[in-house]
Amino acid sequence: MTYASKFSVSKNLTEKRLHKLLTIVKEEISTGKCTAYRTDQEEVILDRENQTLVIRSEAVPDFLHVLNEKNDLLPDGYFAVSEEPHVIEHEDMGYLVLMEESTLPVVFVSRNRDGSLPLDVNRLSKRMFGRAHVVVQGESLSKKVLRNMMDDQNPYDGAVSVYVRNHELFRIMPHKSERYACFMENKAVRIVEEFHQNMHYMTMDDVRMMRLRSTCRNETIARRKAEEEKKMLQEQEKNIHEEAKRTAAKEAEDILNGFERDYSRMEEQLNALKEENELLRYENRQLKERSEERSKNGTGNGSGTANGTGNVTNTSSPLLYMGEEKEFYEGETREMILSVLSDALQNMHESSRRRDLTASILKANKSNGENEKRRNAVKNVLSHFTGMNPKLRTSLQSLGFTVREDAKHLHLSYYGDERYTAVFSCTPSDVRSGKNNAHTLIRLVY
């Protein structure tokens, strides 16, 4: 068969519609993906999976025109499937690049020097219908512009070139003889025919083989399924017992998981109560210290008592109440307040009331030294800082710091609280970097 081509088709083209368009169908083969038809003049294969149509015939089949009129033949890249030539003018020259998107060959016809065409492009287009796109150099598209556009690979002065995806397959040079026009036309048709003959389009034999493989595969699947069902029936009695055991085990596991969830919830509640209890214990200790102090100085039931100097000691309320900010370790608030008062005492005026009251409070409330211990520990850990290592990380974590590293910096967060985060360079810039880092941390959290 001299006519052969392959088209992309729309989903509207069904086997039923295609069967009606064909003449007497002598053979029909159908698989799950393809349907093939054979008549006296054509061999037609509809591939539903890839939405393509393969046609082999002695000439351009009549039903192909009907498919084109019904828009069942999809455009081939930029070019629509047509019996008319595509004329490229100056403003359309960018479309020449789009020839590479076309799966069908492109027959490019250049104009003679006098502007005429070397052959009948309308007749050529009808002969090429469905097999190739005929592109004609328009009158406004100059040879110079065309040459620049196609990098000097274009036909010119009446030459005809056959392209496949922007690759020039063959060029037919012009001749002054009038009969040479028919030769050029026939030559272009033969080149396109040879191209399609060399393409491995799907055949009736391929569809037969696909159906045979599908039948064998279905039989194999059916046989395997029967064997599996037989085996399943044989083991069904055994599986019932195992299923009962699994069900019992699952129920036991669900019960156990329920106990674990309840335990976790109770543990969370217990931890919350412990934190609350710790806070209450601390407040109670503060109140107890105030009470013991009042007992030493002598107290009454009024709003205050006079001491030997005539001064009044307040006994109706504790000296301070705990704020909403939670402590990171026991006694942190007390140590922080005593540290602040001790630092402030150094700058108070001698023999002032403020200094005497502050000194009295510090004398009655001795620091346990926890803050000072932590300051010294930070200094010792960072004094010789040369970079992060496992030992240094462990030491910082024991002091309550969460260590996070990125490419260039260390991020130290106090007990994971992002409000108290210090950022240091991973590599110290000088010998004092460690001391400076220690000073930054102490100033931030102590």
Mean pLDDT of 219-248: 86
Same domain, 360 and 379: no
Residue 324: both structure tokens together: 């909403």
Shared domain check, 359 and 343: yes
Question: Quick one: 291 and 226 in the same domain?
Answer: yes
Residues 352 and 384 in one domain: no
Q: Tell which residue, 372, 419, 380, has the closest CA to residue 396.
A: 380
Tell me the C-alpha distance between 443 and 441, whole Å: 5
Residues 138-151: tens digit of each pLDDT: 888 777 777 777 76
How far from 17 is each of 23, 57, 145, 244, CA to CA, in Å? 12, 19, 46, 57
pLDDT of residue 1: 61
Q: DSSP secondary structure string, 141-205? A: S-HHHHHHHTTT-S--TT-EEEEETTEEEEEE---S-TTHHHHHHHHHHHHHHHHHHHS----HH
Instruction: Report the domain count for the chain.
Output: 3
Whether residue 407 sits in one domain with residue 353: no
Phi and psi at residue 431, to the nearest 5°: -70, -20
Do 375 and 349 share a domain, yes or no? Answer: no
Is residue 430 domain-shared with residue 405, that is, in the same domain? yes
Report, as an integer, the average pLDDT of 285-289.
75
pLDDT tens figures, 299-355 = 544 445 445 444 555 544 566 777 888 888 888 888 999 999 999 999 999 989 999
DSSP-derived pairing of the beta strands 133-137 and 106-109: parallel
Do residues 378 and 438 lie in contact, with contact meaning Cβ atoms separated by under 8 Å?
A: yes
What pLDDT does residue 306 have? Answer: 47
User: Is 285 inside any structural domain?
Assistant: yes
End of a domain among 277, 295, 313?
A: 295
312: left (phi over 0), alpha (psi -120 to 50) or beta: beta
Q: Which of 433, 383, 384, 424 is nearest to 401 (CA)?
A: 424
For 152, phi then psi, to 5°, come to 60, 20
Structural domain that includes position 404: 370-445
Higher pLDDT, 430 or 195: 195
| Residue 52 backbone phi and psi in degrees, to 5 | -125, 160
Instruction: Tell whether 389 and 333 lie within a shared domain.
Output: no
Across 68-82, 253-267, 277-291, least confident range: 277-291
pLDDT of residue 94: 57
31 within domain boundaries? no
Whether residues 414 and 374 share a domain: the answer is yes
Which of residues 247, 277, 295 is at a domain's end? 295
pTM (2 d.p.): 0.47
Task: Pick left, alpha or beta for residue 215 (phi over 0 → left; psi -120 to 50 → alpha; otherwise beta).
Answer: alpha
Q: Is 240 a member of any domain?
A: yes
Mean pLDDT value of segment 152-180? 82
- Tell me whether residue 149 is in a domain: no
Regarding whether 252 and 232 lie in a shared domain, the answer is yes
Q: How far is CA 434 from CA 281, 386, 421, 429, in A?
A: 38, 8, 17, 10
Average pLDDT, the chain: 85
Task: Give residue-wise pLDDT tens across range 44-64.
Answer: 999 988 899 999 988 888 889
Same domain, 360 and 386: no
Regarding whether 409 and 357 lie in a shared domain, the answer is: no
In a domain, 420, yes or no: yes
Query: What is the rounded distance in angstroms from the CA atom of residue 20 to the CA atom of residue 443?
Result: 91
Q: What is the CA radius of gyration of the chain?
A: 48
In a domain, 431, yes or no: yes
pLDDT in tens, 386-408: 888 999 999 999 999 999 998 88
Name the helix (H) or strand (E) containing 53.
strand 52-57
User: Is residue 433 situated within a structural domain?
Assistant: yes
**Position 169 pLDDT exceeds 50:** yes
Confidence at 93, pLDDT banded by 50, 70, 90: low
In a domain, 358, yes or no: yes
